[in-house]
A and B are shown apart, each in its own frame.
Chain A
Amino acid sequence: MNEFAHLVSRPSRQIDYQTFDNRLLAYVLRYEPSFLTCMSCGGCTATCSAGKLTDFNIRRIGLMLRRGQTDKLAAEIDKCMFCGKCSLVCPRDVNIRNVVLLIKKESTRLHAENQKV
């Protein structure tokens, strides 16, 4: 019997900028630089159609992208209905709908690339 079976060292919850995979973020910023100006006001989330019915949070999607928390993003953005209301309401004029599209496109590609490896 392993006397240490009850012990595991837990992964850190810390957002760690030293181990940050920024490929997805760099891609989004390249094609949608307006995303730089987001200040997390939450207007997009307030108006979001999908967010009324699911736990989809479009503001948080942007934040996860900027903090390198990309592992769950692809699944998350499937909840988006691409209605575009978020872009209409944005005070910084970010094309949020396009941000979602770009995430979808690039994460599919990265996924395929990772599969190949």
Chain B
Amino acid sequence: MEKEQKHVAVIGAGIAGLHTANLLAQSGHKVTILEKEKYPGGHLNQWHHLFPDHSSPEWIISGLLDEQLQFDHLKMISSTEITSIEKNNGHFAINAGNELRIYADAVVISTGFKLFDARQKEEYGYGLFKNVITSADLEQSLKSGQPLTTASGKTPSRVAFIHCIGSRDAKCGNTYCSKVCCITGVKQALEISEMLPETEIFCFYMDLRLYGSKFDDLYLQAQKKHKIQFIRGRLSEAAETHDKRLQIKAEDTLSGRPLRMEVDMIVLLAGMEKNEAHQMFSSTKLLELDEHGFFKSKNIQLTRNETTQPGIFIAGTCICPMSVNETIENAGAASILVNRYLEHQQLTNHHE
């Protein structure tokens, strides 16, 4: 029995989408990737170094793109935002801008996350005070290769990292943990310390959630080698002082006393949020979302990559916050489930 070539549409060309697409193409399926931005790579394009090994994310993206070259049956359409997906007789019609219409036997959604808008935490002054930046801003700054300075061009003598911005916070509606911010903070603190050894660095945290492989080594290194200080206490507010430094207030919860500190720069470790694009799928009742607005899995234990709609699969941070290595693993798992689904479809069709 000769296999009929199936067509899979992958929505989103971040690392989850790219990796899933490559694996599916390798299995012989025809694959079309749809990307709304001009270039593939997603959030990772903005990132300087990854944890825990400080490697550059560029080789991950370029590696995934190079891999695509060997597949004639894989193509990517960029600068294209999809407007709707319809399901007819077990097949999918995907409508995108420019009157583009694509038919597919299965769909993989890998639309990723949205970075939390730190301006919502008004009390921390992002967007109001120039020396309050986010982890994403810091990453851009590190990527630029320029030495880190305050808005007025001075080398910061003291920097504070604030954990859990937009995560585990009922006040902004996100009660879940974004998982990657704690380790991002430790990684960035180390990088600042390497660049500016004289700079004092403090991390203000509620819980340190450094759960991944080799993450604790970074924590130990941060304390031991770089004298980075970790204070358990949530910031109540930041305010600008007369000389444009920032005054922060927190409780040192271990001594049970309020604490005040002036710093030159604040880095807000912004969390991951649902992508607004998710709304389109749930409004047409095609897919269900979970309580946090991420895509709901058919089964959270066994089939994390299957949605509540047969034939539509999910991969990467559109499911929940994930690190880069988890995303890659997750994309691999998604491709296996897609393969299984298409093979089953093939068999059913054959018998008909």
Contact = CB atoms under 8 A, between A and B. Distances in A.
Task: Check A-B contact in the complex, CB < 8 A.
Answer: yes
B210 to A, nearest CB: 11
A63 interface: yes
A46 to B, nearest CB: 15
Interface in A2-46: 13-18, 29, 33-34, 36-37, 39-40
A66 B260 CA distance: 14
A68 to B, nearest CB: 11
Given A36-B224, A39-B230, A66-B229, A17 B260 contact: yes
A17 B224 contact: no
Contact of B258 (A14, A64, A69, A92): A14
Nearest to A69: B255
Q: Which of A14, A34, A40 has the most CB of B within 10 A?
A: A14
A13 B223 contact: no
Contacts of A17: 259-262
Given A33-B224, A37-B224, A64 B260 contact: no
B234 interface: no
Contact of A37 (B220, B232, B254, B260): B220
Interface in B240-288: 252, 254-255, 257-262
A58 B261 CA distance: 25
B257 A36 contact: no
Contacts of A67: 252, 255, 257, 259
A15 B227 CA distance: 19
Nearest to A60: B255
Q: Is the interface of B mostly helix, strand, loop or mixed?
A: strand
A60 B224 CA distance: 20
B26 to A, nearest CB: 45
Nearest to B263: A17
Interface residues of A, number: 20
Given A39-B230, A66-B229, A67-B252, A15 B257 contact: yes
A18 B254 CA distance: 20
Given A63-B254, A67-B252, A69-B255, A36 B223 contact: yes
A39 B231 CA distance: 9
Contacts of A16: 259-261
A69 B252 CA distance: 13
A85 B260 CA distance: 34
Q: Which of A17, A18, A66 has the most CB of B within 10 A?
A: A17
B260 A15 contact: yes
A33 B258 CA distance: 27
B242 to A, nearest CB: 13
A15 B223 contact: no
A40 B258 contact: no
Interface in B208-237: 220, 223-224, 227, 229-230, 232
A66 B254 CA distance: 11
B261 A13 contact: no
Nearest to A29: B227
A90 B210 CA distance: 20
A65 to B, nearest CB: 11
B255 A63 contact: yes
Interface of B: 220, 223-224, 227, 229-230, 232, 252, 254-255, 257-262
5 contacts: A15-B258, A15-B260, A16-B259, A17-B261, A40-B254
The 3 closest A-B pairs by CB, nearest first: A17-B261, A15-B259, A37-B223
